[in-house]
Structure 1
Amino acid sequence: MSLLSIEGVWKSFHGHSVLRGIDLEVRPHEVVSLIGASGSGKSTLLRCVNLLETVDDGTIRLDGDDITDPRVRVDDVRKRLGIVFQAFNLFPHMTVLDNITLAPRRVHGVSKAQAEEQARDLLDRFGLAGKAGAYPDSLSGGQQQRVAVIRALATQPRLILLDEVTSALDPQLVLEVLGIIRELKESGMTMILTTHEMGFCRDISDTVCFLDGGVLLEKGPPEQIFREPEHERTRAFLRSVLEAGRL
């Protein structure tokens, strides 16, 4: 059974269709990467899954539950999802520990002691054990993005959505964050990510999806997409990536 099922999803803004009949299945423990040019609909699809955007048509099911039903409790759905954006979105007036424990305590009803214990374990796991009392502006960009990932993990989500999480980082910090994503894959976390890091995408993904103009034009294993893409639009995109030195 699929953990996430997206069926015929459409989304428009001001009369312009950004997603056009998207169909996608994500199995437990699978890593699915969304690739395509800017404006192809990748981030909008993630926002629809997390209910930050309302779909115009189609259905999204999480563990078999229709989360696009207007009667659904959005907070209950988000308890099962974690999302990390390219902007870190940490609360600057709160310490790292408080940023991480906020959702477990306020949304999930976890006790302060338990939430802090779990947060410290995660900080230790990802090399930030000494930063619990630090404020975000004292951290490097790579450290802030690691904290954002830890915050998403702290609620023990069924699925994590990662939206261009390295795009705001200096090149030397990119590998640091990609290493965390690789570790999450090895631990069995189910993930959907958007990325322009094609080499990493090829290495970590179980399924790669190429979006073009809001259409999921092609999907398959990384070797198929990168070696023998079926569509000329996919081939043209990969050529442009290769010329930019990102493949």
Structure 2
Amino acid sequence: MAFLELTDVDKSYGDHQVLNGITLQVEKHQVVCLIGASGCGKSTLLRTINGLEEIQGGEISLDGDVISGEGVDLNAIRTRIGIVFQSFNLFPHMTALENITLAPRRVLGVSKAEADDYAMKLLTRVGLADKANAYPDKLSGGQQQRVAIVRAVAMNPDVILLDEITSALDPELVAEVLNIVKDLAAEGLTIVMATHEMSFAREVADTIAFLHEGRVLESGPPDQIFTAPREERTREFLHRIVEAGRL
């Protein structure tokens, strides 16, 4: 069994089926990038993994524990699976440091001194130690997104989910955020990432999963997906990406 495993996962909103029999395996320390057109189910898939969306069928497991369905402890799951969204979702009335230390103190019971110390180490790693006492409205979009990533990492999760984390950023800010992800991947953090940054996905991912109409149409190593995709729909998608100059 894979470290993180989705088996025949279904998700619908009323009559609209968003995920249709999704099966995906993620090994520990792997980076899996979800690609596909807008509306294919990438974001919904990530939200089902940490219980933000209930599934109607199938099963999700983490390190052998079932984490979907009735009776699961969602709060416990969310201490093991961090998520970062395209909108930064920082608390506007809290400083960067306070945003990062809130969950470790409230949820994990870490002391203020220990939480502050760890948060400062993380902020230093992402080049934001001097912004520890700044409020979100005094930070650029790229800085806010780096704080959001640090906030997720501060919980020491087993898996981190990244949902189009660069799509709300100006182009010149994208690289500074992706460099943080690259560093986390190099350190062995297990990452599942929905992204439109194809060159980044090709460079960093262990596995690429191409989603189409709520299904994983095909998955494999980046070289195979980007140079020799098996499915016609994958070839069409990548052709459009190349034409747009994004690969």
The residue type equivalent to 1:234 in the other structure is: T
Structure 1 residue aligned with 2:114: 114
The aligned counterpart of 1:54 is 54
What are the superposed Cα offsets for residues 40-66 of structure 1, whole Å, 9 maximum, x if unpaired?
Answer: 000000000010000000000011111
User: Which aligned segments of 4 or more residues in structure 1 are displaced greater than 2 angstroms?
Assistant: none
- Structure 1: segments with no counterpart, 5+ residues: none
* SS of equivalent to 2:240: helix
Scaled by the length of structure 1, the TM-score of the pair is 0.99
What's the CA shift string for 1:199-225, capped at 9, x where partnerless? 111000000000000010000000000
Q: Does residue 189 of the first structure (1) align with residue 175 of the second (2)?
A: no
Query: CA separation in 2, counterparts of 1:210 and 1:125?
Result: 32
Deviations 1:110-154 (A, max 9, x none): 111111111011011110011111000000110000000000000
In the TM superposition, residue 170 of structure 1 has moved relative to its aligned partner by 0.4
Gapped regions of structure 2 (runs ≥ 5) = none
- Supply the distance in 1 between the matched residues of 2:13 and 2:244 (Cα, whole angstroms): 30
Identity %: 60
Q: How does 1:13-52 map to 2 (within 5 A)?
A: 13-52=13-52
> C-alpha displacement at 1:69, in angstroms?
3.0
Aligned to 1:80: 80
Give a deviation string over 1:179-235, Cα, whole Å, max 9, x none: 001000111110000110101110000000000000100000000000000000000
Question: 2:206 aligned with 1:206, yes or no?
Answer: yes
Query: Is contact 2:29-2:189 (8 Å) kept?
Result: yes
CA distance in 1, matches of 2:218, 2:68: 24
Counterpart in the other structure of 1:124: 124
Partner of 2:229: 229
The match for 1:156 is: 156
Q: Return 104-113 or 218-227, whichever deviates more.
A: 104-113
Q: Distance in 1 between matches of 2:225 and 2:88?
A: 30
What is the letter of the counterpart of residue 244 of structure 1?
A
* C-alpha separation in 2, matches of 1:56 and 1:15: 12
Give secondary structure in 1 for the equivalent of 2:196.
coil
Q: Which residue does the alignment assign to 1:145? A: 145
The AA in structure 1 aligned to 2:91 is F
Which residue number corresponds to residue 172 of structure 2?
A: 172
**Which residue identity is paired with 2:106?**
R
Is it true that 1:97 corresponds to 2:88 in the alignment?
A: no
